Amino acid sequence: MKISCDTCVVRNRAICSVLPDTELLELNRIGRRRHVRRGEALSLDGYEELLCANVLTGVVKLSLQTRDGRQQIVSVAYPSDFIGYPFTQDTGKHGEDIYTVEALTDAEVCIYTREAFAEFAETNSRLKQELLRRTTTELERARRWMLLLGRKSARERVASLLIEISNRRANLGCTALGASPMHFTLLLSRQQMADILGLTVETVSRQLGQLVNDGLIAFPSVREVEILDWPGLQQAADAE
């Protein structure tokens, strides 16, 4: 189903925002807008591992997993975020590790085949520039997360995740998604938090409980977080 970019809710924030109308029209031609339900995997008829996408609404996770089912979430994409590796010779598989893109909430995305998107971007310097800026940001984020995964304790990891989520919401101006940076709805299940943090569900649950006991956060409901002591939480994320 093709829809004009005029109706796009992230027209001014997504990667497309650097394009003038004429070029946007061309990009629109090679893209497909798609609804995905919560939990549904993103695919494009036979191009499962070779696609790119803009997230319009909702939240989408990108994860890698081993053959025997261990999963690591490597990226969480919010509205206006771009996912995929348009410029790489890669097949999407590395050894036995497999990429998966799955919606954390009902979501709307704009999908391109890697090939088509790359071909288009090839000729568009501004798009390349913007893609480069975003890829760099993602690389920094990934590397910072490597420090967390390699060197931080369970308590530090859980605290860090809450801070990261709160910060990203703030950067996105997510008052629309509800409330302040000090009080928000978790879009992740405990299992998904564990898959981001390289922990088990049980450990995440216990550490969250500990943070509650320490008076740093509260859970009005199981999916709602309230940060009671921001400096304290930040301290818990760094050391101790």
Partner DNA sequence: CGATTCTTTGACACCTATCAATCTTAGTGG
Partner DNA sequence: CCACTAAGATTGATAGGTGTCAAAGAATCG
**Does 219 help bind DNA (rule: CB under 7 A)?**
yes
Q: With CB under 7 A as the rule, give the number of residues binding DNA.
A: 21
Q: How many CB atoms lie within 10 A of CB 85?
A: 16
In the region spanning residues 160 to 199, those forming contacts with DNA, defined by CB under 7 A, are 189-191, 198-199
Instruction: Please report how many Cα atoms fall inside a 13 Å half-sphere around the Cα of residue 235, on the Cβ side.
Output: 9
Q: CB of residue 2 vs a second copy: minimum separation in angstroms?
A: 27
Long-range contacts of 40-43 (CB under 8 A, 24+ apart): 40/102, 40/103, 41/100, 41/101, 41/102, 42/101, 42/102, 42/103, 42/109, 42/111, 43/101
Q: How far is the CB of 220 from a second copy (least distance, A)?
A: 27
Nearer to a second copy, 146 or 179 (CB): 146
Selection from a second copy, DNA, none that 218 binds (CB < 5 to 8 A by kind) is none
> What is the C-alpha radius of gyration for the chain, rounded to an integer number of angstroms?
19
Query: Which of a second copy, DNA, none does residue 189 bind (CB under 5 to 8 Å by kind)?
Result: DNA
Task: List residues near DNA by CB under 7 A.
Answer: 153-155, 189-191, 198-206, 208-209, 219, 221-223
